[in-house]
Structure 1
Amino acid sequence: MTFLIIIIIFCIKTLKGDVDLLIFHTGCVHARYDEVFDPKVEKYYGGIDRLAYLVKTAREQHKAGKGPAVLYFEPGDFFIGSIWYSVHSYHGVAKVLNQLEPDAFNVGASEFDAEVLKNFSKLVKFPIVSTNMIFHDKEELKKRIKPSIIKIIDGVKVGIVGYLLPEVTLWGENADIEVIDIVPVLSQECRRLRFEEDVKVIIALGHGSFDSDRLIAYAVDYINVIVGSGSGTFLWNDVPPDREIPEDSYPAKVTRRDGSLVLILHAFQFLKYIGKINLRFTDEGRIKGFFGSPILLDSKISQDPKMTELVEELRKDVITSDQKILSTSSVFLDGTSCYYDECNFGNMIADAIVEYRATQYQGRGWTDAAVVLVNSGSITTNINTPINNKKIYYGDVLRALPFADQLFIVEIKGSDLVFILEISTTGLNRGSPIEFLFTAGLKVMFDFESRFGRRVKLIKVRCAECDVPEYFSLEPDKHYKVILTSYLLRGGGGYTIIRDVIWNPVPVGETDTDATIQYLEKVKYVIPEVGGRFIPYDKRLDKRKPISFGSRFNFDCYCFLLMLMSFVTS
């Protein structure tokens, strides 16, 4: 009934001073230009040409006087995440977005690179915003990336700001860019827009999480709408059109203490949906009415022929790269199992990272970092070599490891490593935000039937800086050198604890994707296997009542008992 009333309100002639807007927005696109076939339902989803059709059609209707003014936003993470970006980099992004002509582009985590941003900004014809970034000694970036922009629509000034959650960036990852606290700088800029520029409507483009967007909506005055990305959040009203489970209604609503309303918009990820909402504002910038819903980009949505032509042009180089042979194998490379258990593809990737570091190492022994932790979400697909004539293609690896996370060596105390692995077990629960970890250099005995805090029963760690690699029982007080991806180091995959317990992060100088590619080019035949890294717990070894840890204060005691068990059973 409420939805019907809102539609009726929008059918009434616009009152003097009111402004109507139609907003389109995406989630984390991650360079997914082409439509994707889902074999489970035998349907195609996504495609940048479907997005182009919807935006261009709405803009043409507005020009013809048949619809409201249109704003199309990219809130962040358009870069990195597919073979299309691996092949075409930011050049391909610029070509695609110059055709789409977003009204504003916000800098997300995948765009967080000073040199790439500088070059990208020279190629594009649309504004880039970021309110909480400081560009040190980068005058070109200061000129091209603005803290805010203003658009005038039907005589009303609309301000657009942008922000990136500091937690999704990494200290030392890019010394030329500093990401500062959001709320103070955003509050200052919104106040300036409101009182110095007489801006009536303020829209914030944010890259972080749905929860952080809610906090910002409460904390920052004068924002009317937040268009978010970064968490893959799905918002919907009533029954969803596909398998996604909504986290909240679309739009999500926040009412501040002064009674003003803030709308929060998210549109899932990978261009499976595009967000669409109609808004009406008073001449003083208050939200008067709204209705809308994300649109499922399936075959029912037409494709823009001009954009399809560009995608086909980009596809030529993708196919060429796709066909380059890296290695051979008779083994199916299973990445799916990494989400809940040891998997042979994950083992191979972790071993490739260890091998890459070992070839760099110049000190005593064979390496300085014999342990690797990688989040399961870094693998997006399997590689079916048996049906590919035993060939592993370059394109196979780029599709399976599209995010290309930088590698870092860190130091982790043994007791903290126990806790990280304990957290990893919670990723087995359906719907958990925690990603299971696959490893190299560890043998871990798990009891998955036990409750959290009692699952890790035994850990053995491969030695580094030794002449012959061997496994020894974990020492709680010892600091181990571990190779992590930048994603985990930033606290991604649910591992915010990592940001607090690691020491001395040092970049390896390569990504997980490139380390794997170099390994496959070197080893012309691979036989990755499963076995020995995650060991099911034998309850016959449990001679006493198990002891769990409920806080960080008794970790050392817990780990000591693990070592004692190891000594007794070895």
Structure 2
Amino acid sequence: MVLRRKLALFSASLAVLSGLVLAEDYLVSSRYASAKSKRYLDSAGNYNISIIHTNDIHAHLDQFRATAGTDCDPRYECAGGYSRIKTKVDQLRKGAKDSLLFSIGDEFQGTLFYSYYGGEKIAETMNVLGYDAMTLGNHEFDGGDDKLAAFLANLTFPVVSANIVTNHTGISSILKPYHIFPQHSLAVIGVTTPVTKGTSSAGPGTNFLDPIEVIQATVDAIKTKEKITKIVAITHLGYEQDIELASKTRGIHLIMGGHSHTLVGSMPGAAGPYPTIQKNLDGEDVFVVTAYRWGEYIGYLDIAFDPAGRIAAYTGGPIRLTNTTAQDPIMQAKVDAWRAPFDAFAKEIVGSTTGLLDQSGCQSGECTFGNLISDVMYDYRIKSGGNVDGAFTNAGGIRASISAGNITRGDILTAFPFGNAIVDLSFTGKELWDMFEGIVSKVNSAGSAVTSFVQVSQSISITYDPSKPVGSRLVSLKVSDPLQAVDLTKTYTLATIDFLATGGDYFLTTPKTDFIVLDKLDEVLTAYVQEHSPITPAITGRITKLSSK
């Protein structure tokens, strides 16, 4: 896989990509590219089609500061935005009118466009771009089933998720397990991560079945009922889970994924190649692809399916959309108009930071933004008379980084868009040990998968060894100021957020109900930044991961 500025692609793709890749980084992988000679059926009996995919846009309708996700600043490289995505999709489709455009979910939550409008403007934008199908992500349920149903009713294309079972008629009347594109004799199946139940606000009558079992059953049904062999999946599960899905099923040869915000390709920092190829139960190649997050990249594949539905030839890769990509003027005018009602508020400067408040590493260890927000929570409770021993929050609740320089209200709301409030919770030392053991083992004591890493205040210290067996990875836990080894019989009070208190991310085996909701997290952070700027981000060693020997 190599980065090129001009590529020898399939003959049918040359008209599409020549002149387009000069402006963007286009990371290309190909196999037997010469096998593709025309659209639809070629001389070898293979069916040729182009596929474009996006995932985890998270309401980034407008361009944003690259790698940070906050509002675009002319001092930094800016990326993404739906007006750039539209430009690129329109260009790709000019030479590939048979192409299909898929969204892999999590269009909701992440910027003020969602906070202010809900799903209304997102639906309008997706309709304008001409998406062919979508699956649902966990954040589509953040506003509850009613708001999701209203969003779905505004879409002009099919929405698929085979593993969602719901008694909400506004959802069930629109959602379907798969969709057939008869002009291509191709089926697309969707699935949504089962962790949605613990990470979002799906109603009590909405549940999520095991995606592997459901995918296989749906593939078998399609082959029997529809007599179709070309079957692809759009899966909001995560990159590693997609690889597992590929290895444990048969009959699907392309999986387009989302949820984990995984960078794939040959660029620095990539977790794997684009496509990542995994053998299925029949020993056949399954292509797994994803397109990072926020619309900074879109994925593009030219594929030749053989008569059995296997991929005989392909070329393609992730296309990065930066300042060099023109913005569609009509789409951008809409976005600018939608931004106007909250723009002045979002641009208000509340303070500054001397360095990067980094979100990108929060799910794998101690991070500067995690340290700040946990210390802010602890400071807030101490100064307001709370008798707390420390503070903790979920890494998944930190949604964007903030670069060195001024901090705006919009930056803070983009980083913490959920409207969570601070609460105090009491634990015995044994309960604290079990909770942190579950977090570092990724499985709580009740056997539920923990779906986020943790960030803690300076008055908490964690040491763990990931090479140890699940349930025995926590090596030490210290709490209080000054730090002391946790006493398993003592009672401690920690500040956290209401989302975790009620069972979110499965930190707690039993959700709490006996707590008082205090001030909102974003408001507390804003007040702290105003009082303490400039902020000096730092890694202090409060979370230690022992190296395996």
**TM-score, with length taken from structure 2:** 0.74
Which residue matches 1:263? 287
C-alpha contact (below 8 Å) 2:198/2:504 kept by paired residues: no
Q: Match of 2:99, SS?
A: strand
**2:488 aligned residue:** 476
User: Partner of 1:219 in structure 2?
Assistant: 248
Amino acid at match of 2:393: V
> Secondary structure at 1:129's aligned position in 2?
coil
8 Å contact 1:443–1:535 — kept in the other structure?
Answer: no
1:89 corresponds to which of 101, 118, 131: 118
Query: Which letter maps to 1:18?
Result: N
| Whole-angstrom distance in 2 between the partners of 1:345 and 1:408 | 14
Task: Give the drift of 1:8.
Answer: 1.4
Tell me the residue number matched to 2:297.
273
Note the alpha carbon deviations across 1:329-365, whole angstroms, 9 max, x for none: 799898449715985554224555x599x9xxxxxxx
| Pairing 1:132–2:163 present | yes
Give secondary structure in 2 for the equivalent of 1:81: coil
For structure 2, the 5+ residue unaligned runs are 3-28, 67-72, 360-365, 442-450
1:397 aligns with 412
Matches within 5 A, 1:416-495: 417-418=432-433, 437-439=455-457, 443-444=459-460, 456=476, 458-460=478-480, 474-477=486-489, 483-484=496-497, 486=499
Displacement after TM superposition at 1:228 (Å): 0.4
Q: Is the 8 A contact 1:446 1:535 kept in 2?
A: no
Q: Secondary structure at the match of 1:292?
A: strand
* Contact 1:347/1:529, CA 8 A, preserved across alignment: no
Contact 1:194 1:200 in 2 (8 A): yes
Residue 458 (structure 1) shift: 3.5
**Counterpart amino acid of 1:98?**
N
Question: Structure 1 unaligned runs (5+)?
Answer: 64-68, 359-365, 427-432, 463-470, 493-497, 538-547, 551-570
Q: Secondary structure at the residue paired with 1:295? A: strand
For residues 425 and 529 of structure 1, what CA distance do their matches in structure 2 show?
Answer: 33
Paired residue secondary structure (1:169): helix
What displacement does 1:121 show?
0.9
Question: 1:66 maps to what in 2?
Answer: none
Contact 1:330 1:527 in 2 (8 A): no
- Contact map agreement 1:234 1:247 (CA 8 A) in 2: yes
Aligned counterpart, 1:246: 270
1:495 is matched with none
Alignment of structure 1 residues 295-334 onto 2, 5 Å: 295-322=319-346
Which residue in the other structure is 2:18 paired with? none
- Are positions 1:195 and 2:213 aligned together? no
Contact between 2:263 and 2:270, CA under 8 Å: does it hold in 1? yes
Name the structure 2 match of 1:108.
137
- Shift of residue 206, structure 1, vs aligned partner: 0.9
* 2:177 pairs with 1:147: yes
2:510 partner amino acid: W
The match for 2:509 is 502
374 and 46 in structure 1: CA distance in 2 versus 1, 3 angstrom threshold: same
Distance 1:58 1:446, change over 3 A: closer
> Residue type matched to 2:155 in 1?
V
Instruction: Please give the alpha-carbon distance, in whole angstroms, between the structure 2 residues aligned to 1:188 and 1:266.
Output: 24
Instruction: Count residues with an aligned counterpart.
Output: 484
Q: Is the 8 A contact 1:335 1:345 kept in 2?
A: no
| Structure 1 residue 526: Cα displacement | 3.8
Matched, 1:282 2:306: yes
Partner in structure 1 of residue 88 of structure 2: 54
The amino acid across from 1:443 in the alignment is: S
Counterpart secondary structure, 1:11: coil
Q: Greater helix share, 1 or 2?
A: 1
Q: Is the 8 A contact 1:114 1:176 kept in 2?
A: no
CA–CA separation in structure 2 for the residues paired with 1:229 and 1:148: 17
Is contact 1:443–1:460 with CA below 8 Å preserved after alignment? yes
Q: Does 1:9 align with 2:35?
A: yes
Question: Is structure 2 residue 73 aligned with structure 1 residue 34?
Answer: no
Relative to structure 1, is the Cα distance of residues 435 and 224 closer, same or farther in structure 2, using a 3 angstrom cutoff? same
Q: Measured at CA, do residues 289 and 176 of structure 1 come closer, stay the same or move farther in structure 2, by a change above 3 Å?
A: same
1:62 partner SS: coil
User: Does the 8 A contact of 1:342 with 1:438 survive in 2?
Assistant: yes
Three-state SS of the structure 1 residue aligned to 2:459 is strand
Q: Secondary structure at the match of 2:252?
A: coil
Partner of residue 566, structure 1: none
Aligned to 1:292: 316
Q: Is the 8 A contact 2:376 2:528 kept in 1?
A: no
C-alpha distance in 2 between matches for 1:481 and 1:247: 39
What amino acid does structure 2 have at the position aligned with 1:459? V
Q: Which residue of 1 aligns with 2:521?
A: 516
Q: What secondary structure does 2:118 align onto?
A: helix
> Equivalent residue of 1:170, what SS?
helix
* 8 Å CA contact 2:194, 2:209 repeated in 1: yes
| TM-superposed deviation, 1:157 | 1.8
CA RMSD of aligned residues (A): 4.5
Query: Once the two structures are superposed, what CA deviation does each residue of 1:470-513 show, in whole Å capped at 9, x if it has no partner?
Result: x9974314565653464798786xxxxx55x6323449797x9x
Q: 1:382 offset after TM fit, Å?
A: 4.4
Q: Which moved more, 1:34-43 or 1:293-302?
A: 34-43
Among 323, 334, 339, the alignment partner of 2:367 is 339
SS state at 1:204 partner: strand
Alpha-carbon contact 1:423-1:434 (below 8 Å) kept: no
Residue number in structure 1 paired with 2:17: none
Change (3 A) 1:251 1:519: closer
Shift in alpha-carbon separation, 1:120–1:335, aligned structure 2, 3 A: same
Q: Displacement, 1:323?
A: 5.2
Q: 2:412–2:526: 8 Å Cα contact kept in structure 1?
A: no
Task: Please list the CA deviations of residues 78-136 of structure 1 after superposition, one character each: whole Å capped at 9, or x if unmatched.
Answer: 11112222222211211211111211111101112312211101111111111111112
Q: 1:383 to 1:234 in 2, by over 3 A?
A: closer
Residues 1:117 and 2:148 are matched in the alignment = yes
Larger Rg: 1
Q: Distance in 1 between matches of 2:375 and 2:285?
A: 50
Secondary structure of residue in 1 paired with 2:107: coil
- Displacement, 1:415? 3.6
1:431-475 deviations in whole A, cap 9, x for unaligned? xx9856133xx8235789xx997974642289xxxxxxxx99743
Q: Once the two structures are aligned, what percentage of the paired residues are identical?
A: 20
Which residue matches 1:20?
Answer: 48
* Whole-angstrom distance in 1 between the partners of 2:201 and 2:30: 50
Q: What is the rounded CA distance, in whole Å, between the counterparts of 2:92 and 2:115 in structure 1? A: 32
Paired residues of 1:274 and 1:296 also in contact (CA < 8 A): yes
SS at match of 1:504: coil
Question: Cα gap change, 1:317/1:421 in structure 2, threshold over 3 Å: closer, same or farther?
Answer: same
Aligned counterparts of 2:474 and 2:31: Cα–Cα separation in 1: 54
Evaluate the alpha carbon distance shift between residue 523 and residue 8 of structure 1 in structure 2; reply closer, same or farther with a 3 A threshold: closer
What's the TM-score once normalised by structure 1's chain length? 0.71
Q: Deviations over 1:497-553 (max 9, x none)?
A: x55x6323449797x9x703454799997448999x99989xxxxxxxxxx9x9xxx
Q: For residue 398 of structure 1, report the CA deviation from its aligned partner.
A: 0.9
Q: Which residue of 2 aligns with 1:468?
A: none
